[in-house]
A and B are shown apart, each in its own frame.
Chain A
Amino acid sequence: MYFFSFLAAFLLLRRLRKSMLLTEMGFKWDKPLNTASWVSLGLFIVASATLKETLQDWLGILYLTGILAYINREPDFKPIKSLVQAFYPYVLICFFSLLLELLFPDFHRKWEDLIGMGALAGFVYFFAAWVNFNKGQKALESERQKRLVEEEQRRIIEAHKSELEVLVAQRTAELTNQKEELLQTVEELKATQAQLIQQEKLASLGELTAGIAHEIQNPLNFVNNFAEVSAELLEELEEELRKGDIEEAVAIAGDVRQNLQKIGHHGKRADSIVKGMLQHSRVSNGQKELTDINSLADEYLRLSYHGLRAKDKTFNAGLVTDFASDLEKLEVVPQDLGRVLLNLFNNAFYSVQQKQKTSEPGFKPQVTVSTKRIGDEVEIRVKDNGSGIPENIRHKILQPFFTTKPTGQGTGLGLSLSHDIIAKGHGGTLAIETKEGQFAEFIIRIPSKKEKEVLI
C-alpha cells in the first residue's frame, strides 16, 4: 500500500514542479521540488529494501501527509490546494487501516481486503480528481492564454492607437500649416487683385490719354481763336464807334458777346473732360450719385474713339448715338459705370478695327450706343459691326484674365470687372448678343432706384 503513498507523493511533487514552472516562482521552487520528488523515489526504494511491511505503510502515509501539510501551508502553492484536498480520502482510509491494524489486528486481518479496496478507491478518487484538476488547469490555462492573446491584441491596438494619434497630430499640424499658408496666399491674391484692378484702370487711362488730349485740344483751340478774334473785333468796334457807325458797332458787339459765350462753352467742355479724367483715375468711393447716362455714354464714346485714333491714325469709324431723350438721371457710381462703358467702347472699336484690317475695302466700321428705359430698368446697348464673338469662347469672355488680344495687349480683366461693377455694384445685368462675323452687342441693364424709394 505504501507504494501508492510514495507514488502519490512523487507524482504530486512532479506535478507541483510543473505547475510552478509556469509561474514566476518556477525558478525558486524548481530545484527543491525536483530534489523532493527524487527523495520520495529514494525513500520508497530504501523502505522497500529495509523495512517491514507495516512500517513501510506508516512511513509512506506519514511522508505523504507531511508533504501535503507543507503544501497546504505554503502560500506559493495556493493554486494547487484543491488537488491536495483530493488526497484526503486516501490518506484518511490509510490512517484508519493502519490504526485498525495496530489496535485490532484480528478485525483488520478479517477486513483487510475490503480496507485495501477502500484505500485503492481513495487512490482512484485522487486520480480522478487529478485528471479533473488537470482538465480544469488546462481550461484555466487556455483561458489564461486567451486572456494573454487578448491582452496582446489590446496592447497592439493600444500601440496602433497611439501611433495613429501621433499620425493624426502630425496631419493636423500639417493641415494647420497648409491652412495658414492658404490664408496667406488668399491675402496675397487679394492684394494682387487690388493691384491688377488698379493696373487695369491705369491701362485704360493710358489708352484714354491720347483721346483726352485730342478732346481737350479742340475746345482749347476754340477758346484761343475766339479770344484772339474777339480782340480784333473790339479794335474794329472802337474804330466804328470813332467813325460813328453805331449800327456796325452794335453788330460787332453782338459778335463779341456770341464769342464770349463760345469761349465759355468750350472752356466748360475742356473742364468737364478733365473732371471726367480725374474721376476715372480716382479710386472709386462707391458713392452713387444721380448721373446723366446719355452724356456719360457720349463722353466715353468720344474718349475711347479718339484714344484709338491716336494710336491708329488710319482708323475711322462711324459713331452712332441713339439716346432716349426723356431718360431721367440714374443713381450710379459714375466712375465705375464710366469704366464699364469705356471698356465696352474700347472692345467695340478694337473689334471693328481688327475686322477692317482683314475684310474688303467696302467695310464701314460702326459703333452704336443707345439708351432706353424699359419698365423699371435703364438699358444701355453698345453695338459694333465687328467680327463678333465665336460661340466656343462666348461663355469665357466674362472670366477674369480671359483675353483674345495678343500677350501684353489686354489684361483680360476688362469684361470681368465690368460684369462685377454692373452685377454687384449696381444690381444690374450684362448680357451679350452676337453673331459671328457680323456684330457684337453688349446690353447693360440697371434697375432704377425709383421703385425702392417709393417702397421706403
Chain B
Amino acid sequence: MKVLVVDDEADVQPLFLQRFRREIKNGDIDFTFAQSGEEAYEYLVDHYSEVVMILSDINMPGMSGLDLLRQIRAKHESAPPTIMMVTAYGDEENYQQAMQLGADDFLTKPLDFSVLKDKLKTFAS
C-alpha cells in the first residue's frame, strides 16, 4: 500500500519512517514524501495509479493541502486515492472545506500515530 505524505516539514519523513518501522519492514506500507503541494501534484502525474492514500498537511506555503485536494478531485472524479487532510488548525471551517472538496478523513496535529495506524490498518483490510 503506497502512502504519499505531503508536509513542508522535512522531519516528517524520518518520523513516519520510524513510527511505521515495523509496517514498512513487513512490506505492509510503502511511504513516499513530498514537501509541497506542487511536488505532490507532480509526483501524482506519473505515479497516480500507484498511490492509494494521500496524507496531506493543509498549511503549506504555495499550493496548500486544500488546493492539492481540489486539483486531484477535479482531475479524478471518483476515489481512489483516499485523501486524509492533516492540520494544526483543527477548526470547523477547515474541516467543512476539506470535506466539501472531497477529503475522506480529517486529522488534527499533533498526530496520534496509534490512531493513524488503526485507520491505515482498517483501510488496508
Residues of A whose CB lies within 8 Å of any CB of B are 214, 217-218, 220-222, 224-226, 228-229, 232-233, 236, 255, 258-259, 262, 266, 305-306, 309-310, 313-314, 316-319
Chain B neighbourhood of A259, CB < 8 A: 14, 18
The interface on chain B, measured as residues whose beta carbon lies within 8 A of the other chain's beta carbons, has a size of: 25
Query: Given the interface contacts A225-B110, A319-B61, does A313 sit within 8 Å of B15 by beta carbon?
Result: no
Query: Given the interface contacts A255-B18, A309-B89, A314-B97, does A221 sit within 8 Å of B110 by beta carbon?
Result: yes
Query: Given the interface contacts A217-B88, A218-B9, does A262 sit within 8 Å of B14 by beta carbon?
Result: yes
Given A226-B15, A229-B15, 9 extra CB contacts under 8 A: A217-B109, A224-B110, A225-B15, A226-B11, A236-B21, A313-B91, A316-B64, A317-B61, A319-B62
Query: Given the interface contacts A255-B18, A259-B18, A318-B61, does A225 sit within 8 Å of B89 by beta carbon?
Result: no
A313 with B88: CB separation less than 8 A? no
Q: Does B32 contact A (CB under 8 A)?
A: no
Residues of B whose CB lies within 8 Å of any CB of A are 9, 11, 14-15, 18-19, 21, 59-64, 66-67, 88-89, 91, 93-94, 97, 109-111, 113
Chain B neighbourhood of A318, CB < 8 A: 61-62
Given the complex of chains A and B, what is the CA–CA distance between A266 and B14 in angstroms?
Answer: 14
Contacting B18 at CB < 8 Å: which of A214, A233, A319? Answer: A233
B19 with A217: CB separation less than 8 A? no
B18 with A221: CB separation less than 8 A? no
A221 with B64: CB separation less than 8 A? no
Chain A neighbourhood of B62, CB < 8 A: 316, 318-319
User: Please, could you name 17 A-B residue pairs with CB atoms under 8 Å apart, sorted by A?
Assistant: A217-B109, A218-B9, A218-B88, A221-B109, A225-B19, A225-B110, A225-B111, A226-B11, A226-B15, A232-B18, A233-B21, A236-B21, A262-B14, A305-B61, A309-B59, A309-B89, A310-B89
Query: Given the interface contacts A262-B11, A316-B67, does A229 sit within 8 Å of B18 by beta carbon?
Result: yes
B21 to chain A, nearest CB (A): 8
Q: Which residue of A lies closest to B37 (CB)?
A: A316
Q: Which residue of B lies closest to A320 (CB)?
A: B61
Chain B neighbourhood of A258, CB < 8 A: 14
Chain A neighbourhood of B109, CB < 8 A: 217-218, 221
